[in-house]
Amino acid sequence: MTSASSHLFFRFVTPNCKERLWALESYQTHSYNTTSNTKYTMFLVIGATGKQGGAVIEHLKGQPTRALVRNTNSGSARKLQQQGVELASGNLNSSDDIYAALEGCTGAFLVTVMLEKGAEDEIVQGKAFIDAAKRRNLKHVVMSSVNCADAKTGIPHFESKWEVEQLLRSSGLSWTVIRPVAFMDNFPRKIDGLKDRMARFFTIGLFGAALSGGKRIQLVSCHDIGYVAAQALKKPGQYIGQTVDLAGDNLTASEIQDAYYKAQGSRPYKALLPRFILWLMPYDFRAMFQWFGTAGYTANIAALRSDYPDLLTFEKWLKKRNEQFVTIFMMHSPLSTNKTRISCYLCSNQYDLQMNSFGDLYVIFMHNYQHLIDKARRDDDGSTVVDPEPDRDSRIIPSLYVLPKRLPKFLHIENEASSSSQVKINDGVSRLKDAMDDQLSIQPPPTSGRKLSKDLDKRPKPKRPIQPWELFKAIEKKDIMFIMTCRDHSFDLLLRKVGDSTPLVHAMRLGKEYDGIAIVLVGAMSKWVNNMDENTLKSAHNREILKSLRTNLKLAIDHGLSTGQTDLLASYLQTLVMSEGDKFINDATQLVSAALHHPQSSKPVQTATSELRKFATWRLDKSAATIASLDDYLSNGIADLVMMGAWYQVLKFYQPGEPIPTYVFARDDRCYKTFVESLSAARMTIKVTATHKLKQQLHAIERVMGLRQLSLKERVVKLSKVLDEGAALDTVL
């Protein structure tokens, strides 16, 4: 997307100070091969220390740029200053602060962020910025919003961005709105260290939970957002009044795993998280992830590529980042020469070099390391030889790089590069080397077939039986791979009680920082339950496992209540209910249906409530209303049982109909959507055949459950008033 035409050399700078400064400089400024429509003086970037703003700064290099930051002394702010960015201190909520920062600016990049008050903060920031921009008569504003902001998604931070968009459009200012989809940058790219692998493990698992049934998610890199935003600032005439949806890839959860495989040489594991895990998230993000699984982004990627052919795919984005890991690997590889090690050491281990996210570090040492080494050698012998100009054919670095402190002696560098620095990150390097070795030997991943994908996720069988103490130790060490091996080859160990504790309770006793391990364990149980069928239950051994699984979950529920660890109780209860299989849902549906048929003697909502609560321990049943995530799950299940029971009544006379599938039970609004679609198909038959009472019940259920602005619990309360207490629907609504 960009080109450079400068030639680099190393120069010894001698300012009037004691310390010497080594710097890479360019004969010419970076060229973008574009023509601006206005004579710009200064650009202001809001959110410059964030992912989007930082990418905009990167693509505005060579142009006068100012960043509005809260703390000019922070590490991220100082790094911007080292890149030549002017800093302005201010609060995003303050119109006066923004007004001061806009002095002398002709264009500005605006991104709003959620703070303490959530989406409300974004509206406050948008109003403050627009007010300041109008007072300054700003020439052009480029705003980063979100794709589908105007689609009435019900997601708070989508709605707030749409409100700011409307304010900007009606402000009289010249504007461009960029609407990116989900960020690739939210996916971990590192492949060294347990923390990085854990982050990737759960991130992919979370998207997998949201993207069920082969649903796709559109992704874009912040690098591409920054490029388009910078272009709109530098060439406003071509972008005035435009809304640019921005996406670079469209993938399923499985294809995200495949991209990691192709880029990094090994297929990452993913946490097998059930969809109800989304209920543990804050409402804003839960609503967004649920929307991913039902609607999703709608950018036209094919059309975008005609305008921006260099948009990164997810795989390319991962590969670009890997260039930096190649640097570390080459520095510590026993096959590397001292020359290579020294250059890597100078560029990555001791000196805080400014670099972009696409491997400029790699470029430095590959094309300029000889100058570093020569300089260090001359410093050792006191030579004053002038640095030679580097080869004009070498690749050019598109920015200024500075070594902020004096180079150490050459022998010291040589020793450090081959010894102490290796010890420093030895563990990460060994993992990286294994990944690179795998990349040379592993065959490409399969592209289709459920069995093949299961085989890929299967851990190799251990050479000897796993002992219970080994599993408990793995939990304490957060060794997810070992736990997955137990799941695949010694599942009963995950349920075995040792002393006074089970593995799940042991993870809970270790504290909140082990919630991730608890989720892995309950996810393993959930997977076993999902694969359970009638043939599975014919085995006496499997029936014992099922009994033990239920006992484990009830012990975990009681332990969570007694210690105040309530975050995962909804997950435990969901898995417990799932362990009863289709029989429970079918039996409960018939009971609720009978209650709807005889509303004078039975109460349908109360019947559904009692059926679902019977799986809770007495302590959980007593405390359920005080635990938000659990209350949401119970309300979801109660509402679904009522809808299933009502539809069961319709099936008695509507022959083409099919029962609502049990797999949609307590899975957000899936049951409601199936219920509404089924009613729509049977509308005429219901009108002719159904009793007056059933028509009223179906109408009430459809209307009340359609009140999406209310919580599930509020809707269940309204249903109870109409169906159990006989209240008029109009008075309840």
Condensed to tens digits (0 to 9), the pLDDT of residues 341-363 reads: 454 544 443 333 333 322 333 33
Q: How far apart are CA 450 and CA 594, in angstroms?
A: 40
Q: How far apart are CA 235 and CA 33, in angstroms?
A: 12
Average pLDDT over residues 648-671: 84
Q: What is the pLDDT of residue 31?
A: 30
Helix, strand, coil % over all residues of the chain, rounded to 5: 60, 10, 35
Contact 630, 636 (CB under 8 A): no
The token pair that represents 671 in the structure block: 């049951």
**Ramachandran bin of 271, using left for φ above 0, alpha for ψ from -120 to 50, beta for the remaining angles:** beta
Q: Are strands 8-13 and 21-26 parallel, antiparallel or unpaired?
A: antiparallel
pLDDT of 176 > 50? The answer is yes
Contact 204, 253 (CB under 8 A): yes
pLDDT in tens, 117-165: 677 889 999 999 999 999 999 999 999 999 999 888 888 889 899 999 9
Kindly state the percentage of the chain with pLDDT values over 90. Answer: 21
Q: What phi and psi values does residue 596 have, to the nearest 5 degrees? A: -65, -30
Residue 306 CB neighbours (<10 A): 8
Q: What is the pTM of this model?
A: 0.46
Average pLDDT over residues 286-312: 86
Q: Give the CA angle between residues 663, 669, 674 to the nearest 5°.
A: 65
Contact 499, 548 (CB under 8 A): no
Residue 599: pLDDT band by 50, 70, 90 thresholds?
confident
Average pLDDT over residues 63-68: 92
Q: What is the pLDDT of residue 65?
A: 93
Q: What phi and psi values does residue 466 have, to the nearest 5 degrees? A: -80, 135
| Residue 699: closest CA among 730, 724, 668 | 730
Task: Give the right CATH number for 43-319 from 1.10.1140.10, 3.40.50.720, 3.40.50.1780, 3.90.550.10.
Answer: 3.40.50.720
The token pair that represents 634 in the structure block: 């119970």
Residue 190 CB neighbours (<10 A): 18
Instruction: State the Rg of the chain over Cα.
Output: 30
Residue 74: pLDDT band by 50, 70, 90 thresholds?
confident
Q: How far apart are CA 643 and CA 209, in angstroms?
A: 24
The token pair that represents 333 in the structure block: 């590889």
- The SS3 of residue 176 is strand
Q: Are strands 401-403 and 86-89 parallel, antiparallel or unpaired?
A: unpaired
Q: What is the pLDDT of residue 404?
A: 34
Q: What is the pLDDT of residue 282?
A: 67
Least confident of 407-411, 652-656, 712-716: 407-411
Surface-to-core class of residue 335, CB atoms within 10 Å of its CB (0-12 exposed, 13-18 middle, 19+ buried): exposed
Contact 507, 475 (CB under 8 A): yes
Surface-to-core class of residue 418, CB atoms within 10 Å of its CB (0-12 exposed, 13-18 middle, 19+ buried): middle
Q: Give the CA angle between residues 51, 57, 60 to the nearest 5°.
A: 145
Q: Under 8 Å CB-to-CB from 486, ≥6 apart: which residues?
A: 466, 471, 474, 493, 494, 524
Contact 263, 200 (CB under 8 A): no
Contact 225, 290 (CB under 8 A): no
Q: How far apart are CA 289 and CA 674, in angstroms?
A: 20
Least confident of 28-32, 380-384, 569-573: 28-32
Q: What is the pLDDT of residue 354?
A: 32
Contact 648, 294 (CB under 8 A): no
Residue 195: pLDDT band by 50, 70, 90 thresholds?
low
Domain ranges in the chain are 43-319, 461-578, 581-731
The token pair that represents 546 in the structure block: 């099922």
Q: What is the pLDDT of residue 372?
A: 46
Element (H, E) at 701: helix 692-705
The token pair that represents 417 in the structure block: 């590069």
Surface-to-core class of residue 660, CB atoms within 10 Å of its CB (0-12 exposed, 13-18 middle, 19+ buried): buried
Contact 640, 611 (CB under 8 A): no
Residue 497 CB neighbours (<10 A): 14
Average pLDDT over residues 278-305: 79
Q: Under 8 Å CB-to-CB from 430, ≥6 apart: which residues?
A: none
Q: Which residues are registered as beta bridge partners of 115?
A: 118
pLDDT of 678 > 70? The answer is yes
Please provide the DSSP assignment of 183-205 as one string: EGGGS----SSHHHHHHHHHHHH
Surface-to-core class of residue 592, CB atoms within 10 Å of its CB (0-12 exposed, 13-18 middle, 19+ buried): buried
Q: What phi and psi values does residue 86 have, to the nearest 5 degrees? A: -80, 140
**What single-letter amino acid sits at 359?**
G
Q: In Å, what is the CA distance from 119 to each residue of 56, 109, 122, 295?
A: 23, 19, 5, 21
* Mean pLDDT computed over every residue of the chain: 72
pLDDT of 326 > 50? The answer is no
Residue 229: pLDDT band by 50, 70, 90 thresholds?
very high
Average pLDDT over residues 655-675: 82
Residue 618 CB neighbours (<10 A): 8
Average pLDDT over residues 31-53: 68
Q: What phi and psi values does residue 228 have, to the nearest 5 degrees? A: -65, -40
pLDDT of 699 > 70? The answer is yes
Q: Are strands 21-26 and 401-403 parallel, antiparallel or unpaired?
A: antiparallel
Q: What is the pLDDT of residue 403?
A: 35
Average pLDDT over residues 240-267: 82
Residue 269: pLDDT band by 50, 70, 90 thresholds?
low
Residue 338 CB neighbours (<10 A): 12
Please provide the DSSP assignment of 304-372 as one string: HHHH-TTPPPHHHHHHHHHHHHHHHHHHH-TTS-HHHHHHHIIIIIS------SSSHHHHHHHHHHHHH
Q: How far apart are CA 535 and CA 542, in angstroms?
A: 10
